[in-house]
Structure 1
């Protein structure tokens, strides 16, 4: 993943454009979502308000009916004055009519009808008449039955309904549906309500609210989107400076350590009989695609950014968790460490645990000069108490070999491969190896010969008293699973 990011970062123009689009896209989606949710909430609020407005008008109409019920309704002449008075003092209503057996016989405006006029839909609780008898304009009628053959009807002028809708609406998005008739603030809607969605039904009167959920981007939102585009470009420039300033190599290696992608491999160490007595733990980075990264690629990064301690801790813990390694014999397992590792209390604690199962050997290379020798000696002495031993790796290749041996007590010296390679043909290499063996013998330090690839090398070293060998002749570095099978 990080390699892909680094590839993108190499093209700064592409990076700025990509990040700008990403930032603008995220903010734009957030803005449009917020705008739509606000639009939807506003629409529902207007729908609720429209319902309450119509219910209030119908409640006034019902109040008019209730007042009319107290009158002597069989006789139009006796009740006409009071009916007109009710219309005059009751908000929103236009007329009160009396119907008997399907015929209107009294109306608050016309008075007594003679002959009586036949009325349709007179039994419906609420309906809209598109062509009123008075002025041929639409009127909404609320009806209540007062006896087996008698009804009171209150007419609400379309004007009152439209005025109420106009106060809460402005774009035709809220619709009142009564029976088969639908209203918005512009009047009766003659087309089907295909673009409208049912929202809510009144629980008091037989009408419903429909909403037009169509969402359009207004000029203000477009302005905001343009402003966001400029802001996104600026943020992209800042992001580019931040991303290009990140140390991706360090991040990638740290991530590999944390997720145990750097695995412990073991190269066997054998005795003079060819039996495996242990092994050196070597780090190999296995990527998600199965690629094995050799140590010469990532170890310099680990050393540069002081990541040896966390990597060593990770390797130690992975080796501890592999318990099947300790079922056959007590092994010698060595780990490459630095001075920082020696001084780390966590590594000390993990070495204490691992020493219960095997002989732990910590290898220092003489190329890594100890800065605080006294502190290192103290830590090494405390770790020796629970069985940890120490080896000097790559012996003879550094500039302070003898001084190292004078200051630090080691249990093993490892003869470097550069000397072993020429032991069969080079007198100088032979002389150096003889001196190393003689010095180790005097200091009571055991020798391990590294880089063994030919049987002739083994025979020569055996003849000089070397009893531990490591190299491709006995096995290349391998996973713990494969190493465990060789112990059976």
Structure 2
């Protein structure tokens, strides 16, 4: 895969993760939000209905001998109804006849043989709507029915049309029937079996949900966005690491020649080759590798690939230069590979201008490398972090003149010549070899030769080439 596709791909993967996780968490929060309404409504409803269950013993003790209630008993029943807001009325049944009701006197026959407990009567004689009541036997001849007021599902009605399922009947606010599957007039139910539900108004519930959970939603979004950003970076980094570890980034060698055009060495450059054989421009991945501190990994890969190639055959006098940063110098694997490679060629490690030296023990570490024949160069001198003070603090063997100074020989010859002359003078005083980079014209080469520069590198002589082409080239050329 080409690196230019990895960023869009990593972003796409991160966005997919974001929306998947956000959608999942949002859905769970949304369902829990609705469940909270259902649970709260069920709690309120059960509290109202359980009133009679909790006071059943008191009813039996107070009215155990009740038959046809006298005036005092009627007042007592009325007070009970007034005390409990959920009750609408209490009816007294004696010998299977309604003999009294706090709502109004009744005298009619009722159905025999009903067990004590909660019932739904499908049609009230007064309102033609269903009614909920509790049947309690006081003695062998007398029972009471405690009628409840119509349902007020205030909690559930905030998010739609709430209802309670009493087995085969679903009742909404004011005991409105939503569903009726019963064929009997009086349907008995158990409190533990009633279920709350709601026909959700999506717009209302989402508005309410967002209003109440906005803080959580915003926090979740921020956490996920940060996580997805880090995931994007992680995917990019791991992708690059994978490419480096599997040697998808290949060493390309640009020959370095002397004044007579003889090849005396080469600089190893990193070139990314895709699966389709396309060449990825270095500016697309080198800055990222340096930024993510993957340069040691890349340097190890290039050192390893060169070591296992046939370039080293009869290359004892060849100078092979590798770009690296200060960080690479302290990587044990870079040290081990450098020590091994230095046995087969003149190994030169070039410090790039893109990162500064920050460690105080760098000179000491360079000396450890020197014990194995490794030489050092400062790349692109005069640009980036390749400042003149490095020449006093660190020991180098080569100084490479950056292409920008060479290019100016065409447009601003006099000033550029003076500048290069000063670099040549400085190099001689410090006993440094000079290599001029980026030479593209005969005129540039001629001027540089007159200034005393011995080694050259650029498209005028050779372009960077893959290992096989370089091996074939040096096989044909004279030995340096």
TM range (shorter): 0.5 to 0.7
- Please list the CA deviations of residues 149-207 of structure 1 after superposition, one character each: whole Å capped at 9, or x if unmatched: xxxxxxxxxxxxxxxxxxxxxxxxxxxxxxxxxxxxxxxxxxxxxxxxxxxxxxxxxxx
| Cα distance per residue 1:109-167 (max 9 Å; x no partner) | xxxxxxxxxxxxxxxxxxxxxxxxxxxxxxxxxxxxxxxxxxxxxxxxxxxxxxxxxxx
**TM-score normalised to structure 2 length:** 0.52
Q: Could you say what secondary structure the match of 1:360 adopts?
A: strand
Match of 1:16 in 2: 20
Structure 2 CA distance, aligned partners of 1:409 and 1:10?
A: 47
Q: CA RMSD in A?
A: 2.9
SS of equivalent residue, structure 1 residue 401: coil
Shift of 1:327: 3.0
Q: Pairwise mapping of residues 286-297 of structure 1 onto structure 2 (< 5 A)?
A: 286-297=273-284
CA distance 1:14–1:360, shift in 2 (3 Å): closer
Aligned length in residues:
273
Tell me the TM-score normalized by structure 1: 0.52
Runs of 5+ unmatched residues, structure 1:
21-236
Q: Distance in 2 between matches of 1:260 and 1:274?
A: 32
Q: Is the 8 A contact 1:365 1:395 kept in 2?
A: no
- Residue among 437, 444, 449 paired with 2:424: 437
**In structure 2, do the counterparts of structure 1 residues 15 and 486 end up closer, same or farther at CA, with 3 Å as the change threshold?**
farther
Match of 1:394?
380
Q: Structure 1: how far apart are the matches of 2:366 and 2:346?
A: 15
The counterpart of 1:418, out of the listed 404, 411, 423, is 404
Check the 8 A contact 2:17/2:228 in 1, yes or no.
no
**Counterparts of 1:464 and 1:245, CA distance in 2:** 52
Which residues of structure 2 form unaligned runs of 5+? Answer: 25-220, 476-480
1:249·1:301 contact (CA, 8 Å) conserved in 2? no
- Asked whether the equivalents of residues 392 and 412 of structure 1 are also in contact (C-alpha less than 8 Å), the reply is yes
Question: Aligned residue for 2:392?
Answer: 406
On the 8 A contact 1:325/1:484 being kept in 2, the answer is no
In structure 2, the partner of 1:336 is: 323
Measure the CA separation in 2 of the matches of 1:451 and 1:362.
Answer: 19
Q: Secondary structure at the match of 1:370?
A: coil
Q: Is the Cα–Cα contact under 8 Å of residues 337 and 364 in structure 1 kept in the other structure?
A: yes
Q: 1:240, CA displacement in angstroms?
A: 9.8
- Secondary structure of 1:361 counterpart: strand
Residues 242 and 267 from structure 1, CA distance in 2 versus in 1: closer, same or farther, beyond 3 angstroms? same
Deviation (angstroms), 1:304: 1.8
- 2:456 is aligned to 469
Once residues 396 and 421 of structure 1 are traced to their aligned partners in structure 2, the CA distance between those partners, rounded to angstroms, is: 14
* Secondary structure at the counterpart of residue 430 of structure 1: helix
Q: Is the 8 Å Cα contact of residues 396 and 432 (structure 2) preserved in structure 1?
A: yes
Larger radius of gyration: 1
CA distance in 2 between counterparts of 1:4 and 1:413 reads 40
SS at match of 1:422: helix
Instruction: Give the drift of 1:415.
Output: 0.6
Q: Deviations over 1:243-296 (max 9, x none)?
A: 664122212111101111111111110011101111111111112122221221
Q: Does structure 2 retain, via aligned residues, the 8 Å contact 1:453–1:471? A: yes
